[in-house]
Structure 1
């Protein structure tokens, strides 16, 4: 449950009970008229939250009557509201002791709630159980007390089996400001972007900064991410695509928007970020939108909004891009994820399936806890608490998990009293018990023109050939040709790189669950379309010694169909090749039959036979020595050549 809501309810409860006592002096716990007068004078200051004057009057009142229960309760409420918890605890414990002969529901509730907020679970459970035994009539308070009893039981069980958790702060070069929070990384873990505020004042400027690793892997001092993005207004709570080229962030003042805070987008080309644009009324509303989270390819956006019509107060929403790159109508993630309270700071893992978020509306350790849920065909799984001590009695509201699932990054607030408050970035090893189910790797490199060797901006598309669907779709940088695309455990993938006027390139990745999670570097050279150029179809599959196409070959074959339809003047030769295992005559026949199988598929898909030739070359044209199984596999291939 939300501790801020607790404080508000506590103050409302204190105000209502103590105001009633004001007109019924016989119900005060003391008789001293001077003490009572000072207590009553404090009430207006208390209601107006002029706490300094209220505290002074209440201390004077206790100087007249040190056992004044109502004064101790009010002081406890004030000290709790301003975060002076030791003083609050002392006064509430004193009030509880004074009421020991005849249990006071307000004293029991107030102390039980503060115990809960401070992580004193056994004491909280005891106080609230006793409070409920008095059968109080205030439904809101009964609901809070029941939740605390249940949450305390949950927390005590968590304490029995703590997870291994040894967070360490990032270097001082990174944590140089007063406040740094909401960290995100590019998939290669070489760039760290976060929100920074140089001083802790709530009106101080927020900016987005970036820290980069040097050649030795050390984080460098952060710098402004871009003068195009940071302004005199506030820019914060950002998210970045895996390749580091699409940034979405929150801006609450200084830019034209639809509501109190809006989401803006910027694209990086070469080393320059574009002028940010408001994501528009499909995403933003007249309400508050913030805390964005992008999928690895930048085509699915999660964010938080308090717009009307949600499940709770702050809910998590999602929008996806259509084939033309436009954002589709926003959808609420529904009651499996969202509660009647607050869900905040979503983070979608690079695998596109695992969602982390903070919530104060679920069974937890206190305040906001971190939860995780997996998306499956039927929807989101029931979220599970990440456990102790990742979660504790304080607020945990943001988490970034690396693509390999090994490390987590988060911000931790160190209370120093107003101007001395600090928020530092930490990292930790993710305990095995709560690691992502499917880890991710990535393929990176550059795309070039094969003839001129100049970088190309090209479409890079990843297909799951088992499920026959697009998994990721990105573009290589038009200035330097760089691309990054994420691979996730558990399937076989076809990677296509294509650009109008060029022969497409296909790559194959069989990515089960036992792979070593090491980055894969592949530069791609695209051949301009002209007679004589050829490409290998790496995702055409046959059983050993068979020529019937396996179903998972269809993804590749459809790409060939699409290429031929986009280039109606192109005619091709489909060439079958084998390794040198077995009889040469047999291999020749097998290569011909396999080439013919591809030819037949293309004809059935509507390609004119006049544009196609099928030919088998057997083992006569190896592209690698037939000395290892890996090389022999390279030689067993289907190519097409432009005629």
Structure 2
């Protein structure tokens, strides 16, 4: 928003040069001239003192009132600015038209939307449509109407201060949270020390851990913090990868760049610049890493944007052997998200499809408001939705994150009761929630010697055979964590060269909280004659043997395995439970095995490498006395018969 300097001071300068001030008091004119000199030097307190003297000499001195309003605008004292604008307007001066426009801006910044609307309407009734502020006033009139409606439709979200274990006498902001909800990392503005002590304050990272539902006393991340500013961070779902913003670094590409550090066995590596093309000569900041590690979202004012700060994303294609990230080219999120204004503080939820961000241009309550949008068809974002009052206010709101379950949000605010900026949490309204997410964590190891393995792990939506997420158990060798958006059925595959792949099925139709994740120990069998693995994502209708379409992902995985191991021959085995006659089950198991065999042959696998056999219920994996046991016994396996 333009300050009063650009709107009123030009008028005052004209008045001064033409000696057309509204007062005839020489004493008032003298104080006014002195105040004007102080104002030009940005000596605002001295200007206030001289202007008050001028008003003591002439209480109706309009230009003194307007300059006081101008000074209080520079000092961001909107309430005092309004007082003197209203006093000036009572004098019915030639400055009245523009003063109404400025009054509308001041009231809007205060969140007094009805008063702002009245002021803008007064301006529009007095100004011609050729006035330089006419179109802006019309636009701001619509903003006021939108804000009034939004306030009337306010929700009942009650923000709760996170307390003394997290917050302090200093400013806390930019929270980030691991997927298990147990580690909170945030930025704190602390007194500067060492080489930067002359700057008075610097940004550092602090971390608080949740134990038994209680947040513990925060401590600084000493291995990451420096004498310079570090802030606006994002931690990966497993807590092993941290992206953050650092400015004026020796190895920087621009004023602010994105950096990263990796955690191994509880120790953070030395931060490194994330490199091009994420960073450029422009300003890059406020990173958000997607839970599947596929995309890094960030804010930048680089060329090619829509104007101001825009939200971009880069695909993370793993890391080079040197440890440096491999990036795709940055993508601007487009017109649905970005505007000619500023869009900042992106947070991509662990569901990979719900984006929360701040904007000062999308319709809101003033300043920066928080919005959310959802990704459709992997490329289109729906029109952003304002999160409404009381989450948004007439002040700036930024840096909101949401936990994996999708119920609780965290953000920073300086609302009453805080010590400067504090971190708050609140329960999200149902319509603003993302898809709930749980996660699977575990260890991959060699079945024979129990040694950990660096394996590739994939999560596939069986309904449409699309890759949802992929990761590896390599950084902490053998260990992995992967987010699981609820409400879907997934094929989960683990593979390592020289081993049979491991298959799991997750039918996550019911809500499974992040506090109750799936935990797996995954032994992989080396490719040896006699080794076998269960194909848990081969599906048939009850009592039938035609393959269902949801089997495609697993069948393609088996084809890839055979392509990579051209000397291997396998037997496909069908197994049933004990429900029904033995003869019927024997026939069913053989036909199911044959269906898999036929699919492989039809898709290019040499039939000389394949055999199939039905075992009926003769080789159970579990008791047939329970439904769970019978489900395990109904299975398709493949076994190595030659290599």
TM-score scaled by structure 2?
0.92
Query: Superposition pairs for residues 231-630 of structure 1, below 5 Å?
Result: 231-322=226-317, 326-377=326-377, 379-413=380-414, 422-436=420-434, 438-476=435-473, 478-479=475-476, 481-512=478-509, 518-630=516-628
Counterpart of 2:134? 142
Please give the alpha-carbon distance, in whole angstroms, between the structure 1 residues aligned to 2:17 and 2:397. Answer: 43
Corresponding residue pairs, total: 629
Task: Quote the RMSD (CA, aligned, Å).
Answer: 2.3
SS in 2 for 1:502: coil
Please give the alpha-carbon distance, in whole angstroms, between the structure 2 residues aligned to 1:196 and 1:43. Answer: 39
Residue 477 (structure 1) shift = 5.3
Unaligned runs of 5+ in 1: none
Counterpart of 2:322? none
CA contact (8 A) 1:250 1:263 kept: yes
Among 19, 25, 40, the alignment partner of 1:25 is: 19
Counterpart of 1:35? 28
Farther off after superposition, 289-298 or 103-112? 103-112
Residue 224 (structure 1) shift = 3.0
Counterpart of 1:191? 183
Residue 301 (structure 1) shift = 1.1
Deviations 1:172-198 (A, max 9, x none): 011135011110101000111111221
Residue 478 (structure 1) shift = 4.5
Please give the alpha-carbon distance, in whole angstroms, between the structure 1 residues aligned to 2:161 and 2:427. Answer: 12
Please give the alpha-carbon distance, in whole angstroms, between the structure 2 residues aligned to 1:355 and 1:140. Answer: 37
CA contact (8 A) 1:196 1:207 kept: yes
Counterpart of 2:109? 117
Change (3 A) 1:188 1:577: same
Please give the alpha-carbon distance, in whole angstroms, between the structure 1 residues aligned to 2:589 and 2:251. Answer: 63
CA contact (8 A) 1:18 1:70 kept: yes
Please give the alpha-carbon distance, in whole angstroms, between the structure 1 residues aligned to 2:232 and 2:358. Answer: 14
SS in 2 for 1:198: strand
Deviations 1:506-534 (A, max 9, x none): 11112336666742222322223323222
Residue 137 (structure 1) shift = 6.4
Counterpart of 2:217? 221
Please give the alpha-carbon distance, in whole angstroms, between the structure 2 residues aligned to 1:96 and 1:631. Answer: 83
SS in 2 for 1:283: coil
Change (3 A) 1:259 1:323: closer
Residue 73 (structure 1) shift = 1.6
Please give the alpha-carbon distance, in whole angstroms, between the structure 2 residues aligned to 1:594 and 1:54. Answer: 90
Please give the alpha-carbon distance, in whole angstroms, between the structure 1 residues aligned to 2:472 and 2:133. Answer: 55
Unaligned runs of 5+ in 2: 193-197, 320-324
Change (3 A) 1:485 1:210: same
TM-score scaled by structure 1?
0.92
Farther off after superposition, 565-574 or 118-127? 565-574
CA contact (8 A) 2:171 2:189 kept: yes
Change (3 A) 1:293 1:453: same
CA contact (8 A) 2:191 2:200 kept: no
Please give the alpha-carbon distance, in whole angstroms, between the structure 2 residues aligned to 1:203 and 1:496. Answer: 53
Please give the alpha-carbon distance, in whole angstroms, between the structure 2 residues aligned to 1:43 and 1:137. Answer: 32
Please give the alpha-carbon distance, in whole angstroms, between the structure 2 residues aligned to 1:486 and 1:376. Answer: 19
CA contact (8 A) 1:42 1:54 kept: yes
